[in-house]
Structure 1
Amino acid sequence: TALGQQLRALFCALPPGESSFRTVEEVPDYVEKSIPFFITFIGLEFAVSWIQKRKLPGRINDGISSLSLGILSRLPDVLFRSIELISYIYVWNNCRLFELPWDSPWTWYLTLLGVDFAYYCFHRMSHEVNILWAAHQVHHSSEDYNLFTALRQSVVQKYTSWMFNLPMALFIPPSVFAVHLQFNLLYQFWIHTEVITKLGPLEWILNTPSHHRVHHGRNPYCIDKNYGGTLIIWDRIFGTFEAEDAKVVYGLTHPVNSFDPIMLQLRPLAHIWNTFWATPGFCNKLSVIFKGPGWGPGKPRLGLPEEIPVITGKEVPFNPYVPAYINSYALVHFAVIVDLYTELLASVSVLSQGTVLLRIGFIILSLVSFGLLMENKSKAGILEIIRCLVFIGVYKLGYFRSQFSFLGYAYEV
């Protein structure tokens, strides 16, 4: 894909003539090819934020946490094909009613609307159904709002989102769907920023940084608003739109207060499990799972608005003190893990299953260790020593390799 095309893909600005393909196999991996742009835009966000406010747009601990959750969410794709595409192709092959032409601009634009509407429905359900919220809340757990936050994703969310796309498989070719599935995801990267204020008339149609800041807020006026992916028209139609007003305070109404990626993924599920068994009555137990996260016996489906914690403006993000040398250490070692992760993606097709599982296990161990270091936990040092000893052992045995020769030399040292 040409550089200019890839950049325009980030903004869903590639016209049908440049992004229509006959088969799924011909569709580029726009997400993987966008990684250099992710890095560039994060650097630009830091520079602009410093110029505008004389401060950086985030914190080291929260940034590492967001990137860790992003890596963790992508690890299942190393082992399995995307369930979203597998399920879609199955319905297309076995149940389609008719076939729209893959090279028609009308099909392209219809798919743009269809994928975005399906995302709106899924996203809204993910806030209004407790078991779905338990997965989606990972994305909202950051108390910062920057481009790192866009990469903070759930491991399990993709295993519930796929069903919302299946109606399109009755008539829209998989190749067109595969393009827009990526475009919808990529568009939502750049709207996670505070350095862009308003975009004029585009605010009426498109999801913008201003609209999405509201969605990530825990202010009472922000709760359950602005679900759109690329377009904001669905929120305006269905009454879930809210314009940015008072200063937004980001994060969950009841913060998890952790940088451990496994804790962030599993704690909400554990809470549902405990609440399920503590709630009397079979119907109430089902309501714990399928009604809103604020529901309780005798309450409306989505809970009581007055129970949403009031924002005072004095909220302090979870930010345990960590010495500067620990932050520097974590940054360097996190960079090593990013190198191992990208090398795994590049070589997975030629590795044995045992080697792939070993690398995935070590990456998960490392991400947990970094999270505990950022929390300054007493046992973090012991876990980190164990992790480093494991790294030395498996590297000497030849199970780890770097894409860059100078890093290979550094690992040897």
Structure 2
Amino acid sequence: MSMLQNTDPLTGTRRLFYAVTPNETSFATVDEVPDYIIEAFPYFMGAMLLELIVSVIEGKQDERYSLADTIGSITAGAFMIAVSAMVRGFEVVAYAAINKHYSFVTLPWDSPWTWILAFLGLDFMYYWFHRLAHEVNMLWAFHQVHHSSEEYNLSTALRQSVFQRYTSWVFYTVLALALPASAIYVHVQFNTLYQFWIHTRIIKSLGPLEYILNTPSHHRVHHGRNRYCIDKNYAGTLIIWDRLFGTFEAEQEEEVVYGLVHPIQTFDPIQTQLCHMQWMWQQFWLQQGIFNKLCVIFKGPGWEPGKPRLGNIEDIPDIKYPMPKYRTQIAGWCQVYVTIHFALNIMVMDMYGSKYDMHTALGAMIGISFLIYSFTCVGALCDVKSYAPVLELIRCVMVLSMDAYITRSMPDYAAVYYYHLILLRVAFGLSTLIWIPQVLINGKKKVE
């Protein structure tokens, strides 16, 4: 499905704030439920642009934004969307099967009360999933991707794990004992959409709403690595769950420092996704005895033998703002190149996704693998890796080769995307000419 859907601006904006009515978002079957997250992508981009403009006006764009970090966050979001296309069918079938065979009550799909119960139930279950995603090392290995940015802006909201979707749906299956699958899937999406706009430093406070709703102020605490921020404010939409279960912490005068306690210092999208799994695997084999090995998996990421389940807060570095961030020195021309090719990657992904149903299993696997490789090349350029020119030259040649194959073997497809393919030929033809001398002369050096 294409990410560029036709949704009127008012409706698209309302959806980001959960400002929808039961009547317009209640459906008899899951098949009727729109893919709200895909349809929201243009509004994500628009809101990010607006946030950047405001940051420039305030003179804080360098403090709040980094090109490489923003690209890394959007890349993670693109990976998540690609995976979601495969996971959605499985999870909605599970909801529907449980609701049909094991539900103890049948609530009408078109009742406002069903909609309200689904809203509250989903938000409650999200709180517990999110809390366990911080308190269980195996789940944290997935969730840490979202916290890996040292920036805090709207693009950070898009930084998601490709694996988390495989676990989060399990927590929502209990709702299918009473709620129709369509209602669950609607609120799964709106709960996610609501959390987009709270990833900003521009909005300071929402006044009395701070007592009820999860807000940018509350979520800034959640993303902080200051000691007072650790394991706080797990809310999705309503902050009341944190207040009820003792995990609430208000934002203090002390400036929040964002990111992981131990920053990963890379823009490689694969490393961002897998780094904690690698660390956990190493710890698993280092521990003596099966009990300690299991504790590595099921206790908190700060646990060590002889320590509490979640570790000791004293072990968290007592950091203060400002802290140095991982920012590479990317040449001006390379920043322009990276921006253009990242946009082309998104365009290719949109073209590919819009015809997803037409691809064979092998074709789908090849397409997804190439997209992963393409975004990895962008990450290598942002990290200023010495091997980045070689990776990028190979990618450019691959694109030109695939273009020739599509033009010859899939004339109908080529006709539909005629102008898109012309753009790709020009862009990747010129790019090939850029990287050939880079590889021949500076192949063993970093891009300068």
TM-score w.r.t. the length of structure 2 is 0.89
Cα deviation code 1:250-284 (max 9, x no counterpart): 00000111100111111110111110010111111
Q: C-alpha separation between the residues in 2 aligned to 1:24 and 1:407?
A: 33
Does residue 360 in structure 1 map to residue 368 in structure 2?
yes
Q: C-alpha separation between the residues in 2 aligned to 1:98 and 1:66?
A: 41
- AA aligned to 1:411 is L
TM-score w.r.t. the length of structure 1 is 0.96
CA 401–339 in structure 1, closer or farther in 2 if over 3 Å, else same: farther
**The one of 331, 336, 350 aligned to 2:358:** 350
CA 80–114 in structure 1, closer or farther in 2 if over 3 Å, else same: closer
| Contact 1:116–1:230 under 8 Å retained in 2 | yes
Q: C-alpha separation between the residues in 1 aligned to 2:256 and 2:211?
A: 20
Tell me which moved more, 367-376 or 2-11. Answer: 2-11
- AA aligned to 2:378 is F
Which residue of 2 is the match for residue 302 of structure 1?
310
- AA aligned to 1:229 is G
Which residue of 2 is the match for residue 286 of structure 1?
294
Which residue of 2 is the match for residue 138 of structure 1?
145
Q: C-alpha separation between the residues in 2 aligned to 1:292 and 1:366?
A: 34
- AA aligned to 2:425 is E
CA 330–305 in structure 1, closer or farther in 2 if over 3 Å, else same: same
Does residue 20 in structure 1 map to residue 33 in structure 2?
no
**Unaligned segments of structure 2, at least 5 residues:** 1-6, 427-448
**How do 1:35-46 residues align onto structure 2 when only pairs under 5 Å count?**
35-46=41-52
Tell me which moved more, 27-36 or 210-219. Answer: 27-36
**The one of 382, 391, 395 aligned to 2:390:** 382
- Cα displacement (A) at 1:178: 1.4
Which residue of 1 is the match for residue 423 of structure 2?
410
**The one of 150, 169, 186 aligned to 1:179:** 186
- Cα displacement (A) at 1:29: 1.6
Does residue 249 in structure 1 map to residue 257 in structure 2?
yes
DSSP 3-state at the match of 1:313: coil
Q: C-alpha separation between the residues in 1 aligned to 2:8 and 2:106?
A: 30
**Unaligned segments of structure 1, at least 5 residues:** none
- Cα displacement (A) at 1:403: 7.4
- Cα displacement (A) at 1:401: 6.0
Q: C-alpha separation between the residues in 2 aligned to 1:372 and 1:128?
A: 32
- Cα displacement (A) at 1:84: 3.0
- AA aligned to 1:225 is K
DSSP 3-state at the match of 1:318: coil
Which residue of 1 is the match for residue 269 of structure 2?
261
Cα deviation code 1:20-54 (max 9, x no counterpart): 11111221221111112111111111111112235
| Contact 1:83–1:162 under 8 Å retained in 2 | no
Which residue of 2 is the match for residue 49 of structure 1?
55
Which residue of 1 is the match for residue 37 of structure 2?
31
Q: C-alpha separation between the residues in 2 aligned to 1:118 and 1:76?
A: 22
Q: Aligned residues: percent identity?
A: 48
- AA aligned to 1:409 is I
Q: C-alpha separation between the residues in 1 aligned to 2:395 and 2:22?
A: 48
Q: C-alpha separation between the residues in 2 aligned to 1:50 and 1:71?
A: 26
Cα deviation code 1:162-208 (max 9, x no counterpart): 11111110110111111111110100011111111100111000000
- AA aligned to 2:40 is S
Q: C-alpha separation between the residues in 2 aligned to 1:410 and 1:322?
A: 25
Does residue 277 in structure 1 map to residue 320 in structure 2?
no
- Cα displacement (A) at 1:80: 4.7
CA 172–368 in structure 1, closer or farther in 2 if over 3 Å, else same: same
Q: C-alpha separation between the residues in 1 aligned to 2:93 and 2:153?
A: 32
CA 221–401 in structure 1, closer or farther in 2 if over 3 Å, else same: farther
DSSP 3-state at the match of 2:355: helix
- Cα displacement (A) at 1:376: 0.7
- AA aligned to 2:170 is M
